[in-house]
Amino acid sequence: MFLVRTDCQIKLRGYRIDLGHVEGVLAAQPGVAQVYVDLDKGPPARLLAWVIFAPETPLTGLRGSWWDSCWDIWCRA
């Protein structure tokens, strides 16, 4: 019998990534109203995030802060 994962973990380029954690990190950024993260199976496979910002939110500096937070929790599968 083949069991399907019941959590939100995906495997991408040898890393096991929890999509819920990535969504949480993005949602915690200042000015972010809603977030959705998913796997695009490609080719090439890639992680996609859709972010809705609150009105009048400055977009500078977002990429560096969330990327640093996510990288530490990704584990080599």
DSSP string, 1-39: -PPPP-SSEEEETTEEEEHHHHHHHHHTSTTEEEEEEEE
The CATH superfamily of 8-55 is ANL, C-terminal domain (3.30.300.30)
| pLDDT exceeds cutoff 80 at 44 | yes
The per-residue pLDDT for range 9-22, each reduced to its tens digit, is 888 888 888 888 88
Q: How confident is the model at residue 33 (pLDDT cuts 50, 70, 90)?
A: very high
Do 17 and 9 form a contact (C-beta atoms < 8 A)? yes
Find where tokens 């950024």 sit: 29
| pLDDT exceeds cutoff 90 at 49 | no
The per-residue pLDDT for 74 is: 59
Domain-by-domain residue ranges, the chain? 8-55
The per-residue pLDDT for 47 is: 85
